[in-house]
Amino acid sequence: MMTQSADQTPSAEIRDAAAPAPAGLPAPIQHYIDAEFVDSADGETFDVINPVTNETYIQASAGKKEDVDRAVAAAKRAFHEGPWSSMLPRERSRVLHKIADLVEERGARLAELESFDTGLPITQALGQGRRAAENFRFFADLIVAQADDTYKVPGRQINYVNRKPIGVAGLITPWNTPFMLESWKLAPALATGNSVVLKPAEFTPLSAGLWAGIFEEAGLPRGVFNLVNGIGEQAGDALVKHPEVPLISFTGESSTGQLIFANAAPHLKGLSMELGGKSPAIVFADADLEAAINATIFGVFSLNGERCTAGSRILVERSIYDEFVERYAAQAERVRIGYPHQPETEVGALVHPEHFEKVMSYVELGKTEGRLVAGGGRPEGFEAGNFIQPTVFADVPHTARIFQEEIFGPVVAITPFDTEEEALQLANDTKYGLAAYIWTNDLKRSHNFAQAVEAGMVWLNSNNVRDLRTPFGGVKASGLGHEGGYRSIDFYTDQQAVHINLGEVHNPVFGKAD
């Protein structure tokens, strides 16, 4: 794993301005297996880096196959011995609500850890914590309201569905908003009675340890939740290839998803894949321009641009293009870059120097592919750490790599269009299909465009505000399957159909006696 380069040694001033490491951290960050915090079987650890200084601030246990085997064995035993897997939904729901209460109560600590570890602005980390609690509340309510299908053929047959938890679910998560994205998988997996093994991202393992205390206090039985830290190719790979883990829910890069798909194939596992994106925001001339600019600024610069649904390509109708670009660039220049712990910060530090290098290489590439109208490098006064100015390129052709490839940072490409047809062509012209944002006051056009755009989720005249009941997921290289609401319940359960005869036994008789 890369550490800081020599020319980025933080000065004393930066060390003073940066937040101190949160008090009371474990050393090292450990696994949590069968209700105990433990080191890796081989004692190995890996470095975790402070994104503001790029100095290693803590070690985390590097899980391998042996650690994953122990975690899966604990989860399997808990699943088979119960009581979690056989509890009444109402009882499980009470525990889940308690978990949500505890996440809310610990919101400040959670945000402190999350912001320090990821570089996310503290106000946004606080918001992600609230969303994590809401995910638990939502599934707590959903499982008690859940009704399963029954079908009646009068006088002949009744058919009903037994919904059953599947067993041990493997949950593999990325480093952007780690705690919230973990909650998104943990809540439905646990609500439905499964046991879990969570493998958080190695760039940001700090906040995941909070789950252990929260779950214990809320009354989740021993062994139902297990956590193995480690490198994707080691701990993650062992989980994917474990024969006793029938489900893998993965969020991360499309290329990692492809690899996991192949590795899971010999075991025919259930897979849910939430992958990368390069989502378009399409702004027509009749749109509310002020609202569209505010939304498209927030849509790509919030969460440091490290956001799967970021509207990182903005397509603008030619008649308002110049005005849009001018206003957008001016506003992007005003976005407040700052230390993650400061409440006024709108864009903090990118997660890791490796990711910083990747995003910076796209910024440099963009200078040859488009017209730089805002940002374009490291902000003044932040000579160390992973700080990048909100960067805007205009006149970007659809063939450009910054138009086609996911950058996952505060970088946006703006492209003009002349007709609705051309806008649709441009919107669909990438391998991804996660989200799309359409800005127009033409009712017919908005709905017809939404229908035609290749995206799993569309927002009309709106930022990314999602009702938890709606499907979440992408098409094309952005994902496989949908989560959200009852679709998550479907993923984490088997639906067994039971057929009962109500009438005469309907037997075509073979071998009838004459």
Q: Does 260 interact with ligand NAD (rule: CB under 6 A)? A: yes
The reply on whether position 474 binds ligand NAD by CB under 6 A is yes
- Secondary structure of residue 313 in the 3-state scheme: strand
Q: Which stretch binds ligand NAD (CB under 6 A): 40-48, 170-178, 190-198, 295-303?
A: 170-178
H/E stretch holding 211 reads helix 210-218
Look up 274 and say whether it is catalytic.
yes
CB of 274 to ligand NAD, least distance (A): 3
Is 252 an interacting residue with respect to ligand NAD (CB under 6 A)? yes
Q: Which of 175, 225, 284, 301 binds ligand NAD (CB under 6 A)?
A: 175
Radius of gyration (Cα) for the chain, nearest Å?
25
Beta strands 479-480 and 150-153 are unpaired
Q: Does 436 bind ligand NAD (CB under 6 A)?
A: no
Gap between the Cα atoms of 267 and 259, Å rounded: 14
CB of 421 to ligand NAD, least distance (A): 28
Nearest approach, Cβ of residue 146 and ligand NAD (Å): 24
Q: How far is the CB of 173 from ligand NAD (least distance, A)?
A: 6
What token pair was written down for 440?
A: 């127009």
Which C-beta is closer to ligand NAD: that of 121 or that of 474?
Answer: 474
Residues 6+ apart with CB under 8 A from 99: 136, 214, 215, 218, 220
Q: How far is residue 177's CA from residue 267's CA, in Å, rounded to a whole number?
A: 30
Among positions 253, 369, 422, 442, the unique one binding ligand NAD when judged by CB under 6 A: 253
Residues 60, 74, 169, 172: which binds ligand NAD (CB under 6 A)?
A: 172
Please give the residues from 351 up to 410 whose contact with ligand NAD meets the rule CB under 6 A: 406, 408
User: Does residue 457 interact with ligand NAD by CB under 6 A?
Assistant: no
Q: DSSP states of 158-208 as a string?
A: EEEEEEEE-SEEEEE--SSSHHHHHHHHHHHHHHTT-EEEEE--TT--TGG
Q: Of residues 479-498, which lie at the interface with ligand NAD (CB under 6 A)?
A: 479
Distant-in-sequence contacts of 152-159, Cβ < 8 A, 24+ apart: 153/502, 155/502, 155/503, 156/501, 156/502, 156/503, 156/506, 157/499, 157/500, 157/501, 157/502, 157/503, 158/499, 158/500, 158/502, 159/497, 159/498, 159/499, 159/500
68 lies in the binding site for ligand NAD (CB under 6 A)? no
Interaction with ligand NAD in 277-316: which residues (CB under 6 A)? 277, 308
C-beta of residue 209 within 8 angstroms of C-beta of residue 28: no
Catalytic residue among 112, 274, 346, 483: 274
Q: Does the protein bind ligand NAD through residue 224 (CB under 6 A)?
A: no
Q: Measured from the CB atom, is 128 or 176 closer to ligand NAD? A: 176
In the shown chain, the binding pattern of residues 228 to 247 toward ligand NAD, with x for contact by CB under 6 A and - for none, equals ----xx--xx--x-------
Q: What is the 3-state secondary structure (H, E, C) of 278-294?
A: CCEEEECCCCCHHHHHH
Q: In angstroms, what is the minimal distance from the CB of 457 to ligand NAD?
A: 10
Distance of alpha carbon 231 from alpha carbon 202, whole angstroms: 6
The residue range among 10-18, 49-57, 275-283, 411-419 that interacts with ligand NAD, by the rule CB under 6 A, is 275-283
Give the burial class of 235: count Cβ atoms within 10 A of its Cβ; 0-12 exposed, 13-18 middle, 19 or more buried.
buried
The residue range among 40-48, 133-141, 197-205, 371-379 that interacts with ligand NAD, by the rule CB under 6 A, is 197-205
Tally Cβ neighbours within 10 Å of residue 23: 7
Positions marked active-site: 274
The residue ranges that bind ligand NAD (CB under 6 A) are 172-176, 181, 199, 201-202, 232-233, 236-237, 240, 251-253, 256, 259-260, 274-277, 308, 406, 408, 434, 474, 479
